[in-house]
């Protein structure tokens, strides 16, 4: 069971990074609201098919609380996420999702009662250091210059907000899974997101809708996104939320490579160094969590 959740989390990381890279190519010429909406729409068929292979679970009040509290937060995160991908380089925005496990240490404690040992603080320091060194070339202009660059990069700031929201929705999602089933929650949750996001997307993107070939362009990102949802939800049902999210953040390293290979983004070495530090921090947080919950059943 231990290796299965790790593999599922890595699959989730790869499919998310791939969907993001494919989505960014479309964003360069299209409205971010329409793009985000269509990516979600194309993720639904596979999610609905998965419902055919599972029994319907019995639902209680905790499922509904987690479900309906998460929805508005998820809508907000989608909007911020798309704007971040459009405004800033992929390799400079995606690494800030590394902050989700940092926020998750507190969010999962208050929502799920999960605790991270003191050893995890070293991992947190590495994650923070990785964020700092994303703009390490600017340090010659002053010790605080990298932090100033981060504040000037709007896409990075938006992605930090996304990371904070994800820490809350991940914890609530774990609660909903525990009181239903991973595939049932994944399918119904994202169907509800599409339902709520549709009027927002159509209104915000009304001037951009036209003869563009958006459906064809977003079919593949949607398929990869649905694979991400399925692997993520099943992994969450097996392991603790801090473990899954930390391993899933391998997507940030994959995203940095995609930014270099497909979008010719510059300063890749400094950003890879920062992203690597962040990932080492993830490993330390996961190890600390594993030690703390060594008696847990997977």
Contact 249, 10 (CB under 8 A): no
pLDDT tens sequence across 106-164 = 898 899 887 777 776 687 778 767 766 765 565 556 656 656 667 777 888 898 899 99
Burial of residue 81 (CB within 10 Å: 0-12, 13-18, 19+) is buried
Residue 151's alpha-carbon distances to 24, 95, 157, 158, 260, in angstroms, are 22, 15, 7, 10, 23
Gap between the Cα atoms of 235 and 117, Å rounded: 22
pLDDT confidence of residue 289: 61
CA separation (Å) from 118 to 15, 76, 127, 238, 281?
32, 32, 15, 24, 13
Q: Whole-angstrom Cα distance, residue 153 to residue 172?
A: 30
Residue 1: DSSP 8-state: -
- Compute how many other C-beta atoms are within 10 angstroms of the C-beta atom of residue 188: 18
The reported pLDDT for the residue numbered 298 is 40
Q: Which portions of the chain are predicted below pLDDT 70?
A: 1-3, 90-92, 120-121, 128, 131-132, 134-149, 208-215, 267, 270, 285, 289-298
- Has this prediction a pTM greater than 0.85? no
pLDDT of residue 102: 81
Q: How far apart are CA 196 and CA 72, in angstroms?
A: 9
**pLDDT computed for residue 214 by the predictor:** 63
- Distances in Å between the Cα of 203 and the Cα atoms of 81, 199, 200, 209, 237 are 18, 6, 5, 10, 36
> Residue 186: its pLDDT value, please?
94
- Can you give the residue ranges of every domain in the chain? 2-292
DSSP state of 293: T
């Amino acid at each position: 069971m231990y290796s299965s959740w790790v593999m599922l989390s890595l699959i989730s990381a790869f499919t998310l990074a791939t969907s993001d890279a494919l989505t960014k190519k479309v964003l360069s010429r299209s409205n971010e609201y329409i793009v985000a909406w269509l990516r979600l729409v194309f993720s639904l068929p596979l999610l609905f098919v998965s419902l055919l292979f599972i029994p319907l679970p019995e639902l209680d009040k905790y499922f509904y609380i987690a479900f309906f509290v998460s929805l508005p937060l998820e809508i907000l995160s989608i909007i911020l996420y798309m704007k971040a991908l459009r405004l800033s380089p992929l390799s400079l925005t995606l690494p800030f999702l590394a902050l989700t496990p940092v926020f998750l240490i507190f969010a999962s404690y208050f929502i799920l009662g999960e605790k991270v040992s003191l050893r995890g603080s070293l991992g947190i320091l590495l994650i923070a250091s990785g964020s700092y060194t994303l703009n390490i070339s600017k340090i010659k202009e002053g010790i605080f210059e990298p932090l100033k660059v981060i504040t000037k990069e709007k896409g990075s700031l938006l992605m930090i907000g996304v990371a904070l929201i994800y820490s809350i929705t991940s914890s609530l999602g774990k609660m909903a899974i525990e009181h239903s089933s991973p595939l049932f929650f994944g399918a119904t949750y994202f169907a509800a997101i599409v339902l709520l996001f549709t009027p927002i997307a159509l209104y915000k993107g009304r001037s951009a809708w036209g003869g563009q070939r958006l459906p064809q362009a977003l079919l593949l990102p949607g398929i990869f996104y649905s694979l991400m949802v399925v692997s993520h939800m099943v992994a969450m049902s097996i392991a603790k939320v801090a473990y899954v999210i930390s391993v899933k953040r391998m997507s940030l390293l994959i995203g940095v490579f995609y930014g270099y290979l497909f979008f010719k983004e510059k300063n890749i070495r400094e950003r890879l160094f920062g992203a690597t530090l962040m990932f080492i921090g993830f490993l330390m947080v996961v190890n600390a969590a594993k030690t703390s919950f060594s008696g847990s059943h997977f």
